[in-house]
Amino acid sequence: MRPSEPTAREPRAVAARRARPEGRGPVRYGPPPPAPGLPVLPELAGVVAGTAERSHPEPPGGPPALLDAAGGYWERRGLSAGRARLTAAPGGAPLLLALTAALGGDVLVPRPCPAWWVPQTRLLGREAFHVPTPAECGGVPDPYALLETVRRVRAEGGDPRLLVLSVADDPTATVPPPEVLHEAVEAAAGEGLHVVSDETWRDTLHPGTDTVLFSPAEMFPDQVTVLTELTGAYLPPALPAACARFAPTPFGDRLADRVLDFLTATGAVLAAPVAAAATYVLHEPAAVLARRAAAVALHAQVAAAAYRTVLAGGGFARPPRAGRHLYADLGPLRPALAARGVSDAQDLEDFLTARLGMPAPGGHRFGDDPAALRVRLSTGPLLGSDPQERMASLTASDPLQLPQVARELHKVAAVLDELRGARETAGPQGSAPAGEGWESER
């Protein structure tokens, strides 16, 4: 049998990945979530500094004070949970790794999805199958595509058991409408899949957009585990912490115990300063809420400005509704990009990172089609080049009028204007539409 020939029990998608040349296409480990680009809250820094003399280790799964704070956090969001159904880990990646290991089987994720979801599956020797998303949003699979994927994977010998989705998505910065989310989770539940809802960005909804967010745990409480990475809205990336809330069922109890086994066995234990920081922010004191509100408003304004800049430059994008990033499709600029040696997402990442002086991960980092010219632009680097400029952006009544923000946005506009001008000179050939759900200014 040739090396690239699928075995009887190997799905064609697996064989295709084995046959793909190394060095191009999807990568295993992508960029971290977008950083806030803002100085650490002084009160939070004080909490961390106050733990400097602690010498005892924290227990696996998090100390009781942290779990109680997490319970209060979810209680305020309509998801009650006792301490036994909560656990904490030093970041979302090790927590998702433990969940995936505990549940077993293959994993389904939307395309695109956060870069840190899939490596855990591959590390365990499992398969991750990407499912197309609906036209109007990212974060959740199209329910009909999900059913077809489950059917195909099972027919070819796979064992799908887990669906990971997001209610406020990285990378697309979209929020699935409640009815779309319900249909996707209903389809997953009907096929016996357990659902992990990544709610890292749920507390970063952009104000003034009339966006409604629901957790699937509110819709199907017995079949959903909720996960939140606190560096989304509360902690700096230097203090990684994540929490999970398990379903209030015997199965949820067993899953919580099994996840704790994996966290213990792998030494995935929170450091004392991180545990103290996580406990502090989960209580949501006034200082934390004020900083969160100001930061969300700032990133929303800058993301909206970046969105307008991409559309004016000839690209496509969905309007950002959460988080601190924008997912842009520069497919209409393909002829001009090709003239500069850019033919796929990796080339686009290299080109924009060099031209903009900021990380610009291509869509292939998120499981998207490597041939598509899609890229995630983060708003953190657009706030200024040093802590003083970024703090001034946070406190300004109109940050878009600040020189540092205008300067960074101008860099994006200048690159796109150059490409658009080259495209218009060369003619419209090759500028096929990016697909449903993407918006342009034309």
Give the pLDDT mean for 51-73: 93
Confidence of residue 2 (pLDDT cuts 50, 70, 90): very low
Confidence of residue 13 (pLDDT cuts 50, 70, 90): very low
Q: Transcribe 236-276 into DSSP letters.
A: -TTS--EEEE--SSHHHHHHHHHHHHHHHHTT----HHHHH
Give the model's pLDDT for residue 245. Answer: 98
Give the pLDDT mean for 197-221: 94
Give the model's pLDDT for residue 426. Answer: 53
Give, in order, the Cα–Cα distances in Å from 359 to each of 40, 188, 380, 382, 414.
Answer: 21, 35, 10, 11, 17
* Tens digits of residue pLDDT in 199-210: 999 999 999 888
Name the residue with higher pLDDT: 37 or 169: 169
| Cβ contact 143:133 at 8 Å | no
Which position has the token pair 């996840």? 259
Least trusted range by pLDDT, from 285-299, 323-337, 360-374, 410-424:
410-424
326: amino acid identity, one letter: L
CA dihedral 70, 72, 78, 80 (to 10 degrees): 80
pLDDT at 302 over 90: yes
Tokens for 34, please give them.
């977008």
Name the residue with higher pLDDT: 200 or 438: 200
Q: Select from 139, 113, 171 the least CA-distant residue to 326.
A: 171
Confidence of residue 362 (pLDDT cuts 50, 70, 90): very high
Helices (H), ranges, 372-431: 387-395, 403-426
Q: Secondary structure of the chain: what % helix, strand, coil (to 5)?
A: 45, 10, 45
pLDDT at 329 over 60: yes
* Tens digits of residue pLDDT in 239-266: 999 999 999 999 999 999 999 999 999 9
* Tens digits of residue pLDDT in 336-353: 999 999 999 999 999 999
175: amino acid identity, one letter: V
Confidence of residue 56 (pLDDT cuts 50, 70, 90): confident
Confidence of residue 37 (pLDDT cuts 50, 70, 90): confident
User: CA Rg, the chain, in Å?
Assistant: 22
φ, ψ of residue 232 in degrees (nearest 5)? -65, -50
DSSP 362: B
pTM of the complete model? 0.89
Dmax over CA atoms of the chain, in Å, equals 67
Distance CA 175, CA 313 (A): 25
* Tens digits of residue pLDDT in 165-182: 999 999 999 999 999 999
Give the pLDDT mean for 73-96: 94
Instruction: Give the end-to-end CA distance of the chain in Å, rounded to a whole number.
Output: 52
Distance CA 308, CA 297 (A): 17
DSSP 36: -
